[in-house]
Amino acid sequence: MFNDVDFSSIMPLLSDCNIRNIADRETLIKAGDINNNVYLILSGEFNVHLTPDCSDPVTVLEPGQSIGEISIIDHQPASAFVSAAKDSRVLIIDEEVMWSLIGSSHAIANNLLVVLSQRLRHGNSVINKIKGLLKEYEHHATVDALTSLYNRRWLDNMQSRVMQRCHKNNEALSVMMIDIDSFKDYNDKNGHLAGDIALRTVSQTIIQYLRPEDLVTRYGGEELFALLPGMDIKSTVTVAERLREAIKQTNITDKNDQPLPSVTISIGVAEMTIHDDPHQLIEDADKAMYKAKHAGRDKVCS
């Protein structure tokens, strides 16, 4: 703030400014409060953070830097919390004195512009980082980590939209409930790691055999659920039969390329009707899948 400033010209204005000691972890500014001062850091260190628990500072301010200059310009409540990261000392410059300093010194006015531009650039950087984190969190919130398929939460949010769109466009919509046969026995005999590999292999095979516009989710455990917009039940049964056969013929190998036992799947197929809601459509597919199980597994039923 005072780079290249002739101190002899501003000392009369600074002479009445107080110096304050700030203890480690003491809060200097609270988000939402009105702040009428600029604080020049004489010693110590301050964290700027968005939550009152002082976690994850968005920036750290050191001796020579200032705090609170934006508040005296826009007269808005503080947007962040500022707390001491160690015992610190600050020079308190109230709003009236600060404007007098700006008016009396071209260098201070110029330095203030530099400080504000740095704040803006840093703010943009923080916003971009937050956007990236939000995308990452959104991905983890809607994608199953093991199979890389969409998860149940995603299905709960998306299925009704897909059904409404197909209703509106007068398109058919069929679904498949897919279950790996005797999966508990598979895990018991080969280990849960082998079971994870088998589940991933089945998931990726399903993706390869369905269209890009088809939507596949991990419904729960070893159950998978697929939405096939634009396909009636007859076409979907044909696709399901091809998929059932493909899974049976798919080789499963561990991380060392050693063969693991193959698996089979049972598939229940249902088609949306004008009166269906998401729960009813899932229930219809689930009933058809259990019909396939009771018929001896490794079958497709509707």
Which residue shows structure tokens 């998929």? Answer: 243
Fold of 152-301: Alpha-Beta Plaits (3.30.70)
pTM of the model: 0.60
For the chain, residues classed under CATH 3.30.70.270 are 152-301
- Residue 57 has a pLDDT of 86
- Residue 102 has a pLDDT of 82
- Residue 123 has a pLDDT of 61
In this structure, the strands spanning 27-29 and 66-67 are unpaired
- Residue 176 has a pLDDT of 96
The strand pairing partners of 43, in sequence order, are: 89
- Residue 196 has a pLDDT of 94
- Residue 237 has a pLDDT of 96
Q: Over its length of 302 residues, how does the chain's per-residue pLDDT go in tens digits?
A: 777 777 777 888 888 899 999 999 999 999 899 999 999 999 999 999 888 776 678 888 999 888 888 888 888 888 889 999 999 999 999 998 888 888 887 788 787 777 777 776 666 665 666 566 666 666 567 888 899 898 888 888 889 999 999 999 999 999 999 999 999 999 999 999 999 999 999 999 999 999 999 999 999 889 999 999 999 999 999 999 999 999 999 999 988 889 999 999 999 999 998 878 899 999 999 999 999 999 999 999 99
DSSP states along 7-70: HHHHHHHHTT-EEEEE-TT-EEE-TTS---EEEEEEES-EEEESSTT--S-SEEE-TT-EE-HH
Instruction: Provide the 3-class DSSP secondary structure of residue 302.
Output: coil
Q: Of these residues, 26, 45, 138, 222, which one is catalytic?
A: 222
- Residue 128 has a pLDDT of 67
Give the CATH superfamily of 7-139. Answer: Jelly Rolls (2.60.120.10)
- Residue 54 has a pLDDT of 66
For the chain, residues classed under CATH 2.60.120.10 are 7-139
- Residue 289 has a pLDDT of 95
Catalytic (active site) residue 222: yes
- Residue 132 has a pLDDT of 66
Containing 123, the helix (H) or strand (E) segment is: helix 106-142
- Residue 264 has a pLDDT of 95
- Residue 2 has a pLDDT of 76
| Rounded alpha-carbon distances, angstroms, from residue 146 to 120, 135, 198, 218, 226 | 40, 19, 11, 9, 17
- Residue 121 has a pLDDT of 67
